[in-house]
Amino acid sequence: MTAVAIVVTSLLAVGAGLALIRIVRGPSVLDRIVATDVLLAVIVMALATEAAFSRDATVLPILAVLSILGFTGAVSVARFAIRRSPSAGDRS
């Protein structure tokens, strides 16, 4: 069980590191926003992994709130990006 925890922790750390690199170096604002959403997902996965490893369910409300926050943020960004991008029929 300890080997699995080490592997999962290292994979989550690599994912968080790559997301942080994309946040810092992102060429556009949308890249940075998507990387922030990925970082939030990695944080949720890390909390869920810790809850499963320690068999402690006190973190579940935090997981629910962070999941709803991530979903709401992703949908808001998608709607914002669709409004800002010019569509094929609107060429003036």
pLDDT band at 86 (very low <50, low <70, confident <90, very high): low
pLDDT band at 76 (very low <50, low <70, confident <90, very high): confident
Task: Tell me the one-letter amino acid at 78.
Answer: A
89, pLDDT greater than 80: no
- pLDDT for the residue 28: 86
Q: Please give the backbone phi and psi of residue 55, each rounded to the nearest 5 degrees, phi first.
A: 55, 45
- Residue ranges of domains in the chain: 2-84
90, pLDDT greater than 80: no
For 5-61, how does the pLDDT look when each residue is reduced to its tens digit (9 = 90+)? 899 999 999 999 999 999 999 888 888 888 999 999 999 999 999 999 999 999 999
1-10, Cβ contacts within 8 angstroms, sequence gap of 24 or more: 1/53, 5/49, 5/53, 8/49, 9/46, 9/49
